Amino acid sequence: MLFNSIDFTIFLPIVFLLYWFVISKSLKLQNAYLIIASYIFYGWWDWRFLSLIIFSTLVYYGMGLLLANENQLSKRKIFIKNMLTNTI
């Protein structure tokens, strides 16, 4: 699905309206909905790349959990610095 396609013109308002008016009660539910909508968007273009985006989602979610569980600011900074130098 391309941004300038008719499919996207239909897809975006549906996702937007459901996000704001139907699933507006829970932040976790909204986040899960956006992830699923993102997977649908990328999968529409080429489903073979879904494994890549799902893998990167899980890796970065895990890194976020590690950062959230670390209380010392100095260790968090070291972890982020190592994360950035190893991924670039």
Q: Tell me, yes or no, whether 10 and 39 share the same domain.
A: yes
* Domain range for 68: 47-88
At 70, the pLDDT band (50, 70, 90 cuts) reads confident
At 87, the pLDDT band (50, 70, 90 cuts) reads low
Q: Tell me, yes or no, whether 15 and 40 share the same domain.
A: yes
The confidence score (pLDDT) of residue 77 equals 84
Q: Tell me, yes or no, whether 1 and 26 share the same domain.
A: yes
Q: Tell me, yes or no, whether 52 and 35 share the same domain.
A: no
Q: Tell me, yes or no, whether 55 and 29 share the same domain.
A: no
Q: What is the pTM of this model?
A: 0.70
Burial classification of residue 13, based on how many CB atoms lie within 10 Å of its CB (0-12 exposed, 13-18 middle, 19 or more buried):
exposed
* Total domain count, the chain: 2
CA-nearest of 36, 47, 32, 34 to 1 is 47
Q: Tell me, yes or no, whether 25 and 2 share the same domain.
A: yes
Q: Tell me, yes or no, whether 29 and 59 share the same domain.
A: no
Tokens read off for 34: 């956006």
Distance (Å, rounded) from C-alpha 52 to C-alpha 40?
14
13-57: pLDDT as tens digits: 999 988 888 777 788 888 888 999 999 988 888 888 899 999 989
Q: Which residues contact 53 (CB under 8 A, 6 or more apart)?
A: 38, 39, 42
Which residue's entry shows tokens 């950035």? 84
The least confident of 4-8, 22-26, 57-61 is 22-26
Q: What is the mean pLDDT of residues 61-79?
A: 85
Q: Tell me, yes or no, whether 51 and 36 share the same domain.
A: no
